[in-house]
Amino acid sequence: MDNVQLERRHDYIQWLFPLPEASSAVPGAPVLSADDVMQIRSSDIAMTNLRAAAARMRDFYARTRHWLAPADHNHLRITRIIKSLRLLAGDAEADAFKTMILDTVGFSGANISARSM
């Protein structure tokens, strides 16, 4: 998807970055079990796809600026991405994504709400 499609659609983040808890925004999105987490972590294909999805979302947030607002639906997406990366790929990858986001916020001077931060 291009950046416009990534912004307009609201049903893909839960599939690209699954968590052990159900999504209130997208019923039917995957909910990971402990076994699912282990299988994803041990699958080269799953990890390659997870890393590719994270890279695409890093590019999206680096190239767009509308999310740099006090409150924006992308803040929930970003939180999900970081949580999913931490669970599935580890702290280093989650922290790298988080750092990129925080650097972008800091560089832009955006006034992001305390709750989102």
Residue 31 pLDDT > 90: yes
- Cα dist. 53→12, 36, 57 in Å? 11, 18, 6
Partners of 31 in the beta sheet? 19
Residue 23 pLDDT > 90: yes
Q: One-letter amino acid identity for 68?
A: L
Per residue in 77-91, pLDDT tens?
999 999 999 999 999
Q: Where are the domains of the chain?
A: 3-108
DSSP 8-state class, residue 114 = T
pTM: predicted TM-score of the whole model, two decimal places: 0.96
Mean pLDDT, residues 4-33: 95
Determine the pLDDT at residue 117. Answer: 87
Per residue in 47-78, pLDDT tens?
999 999 999 999 999 999 999 999 999 999 99
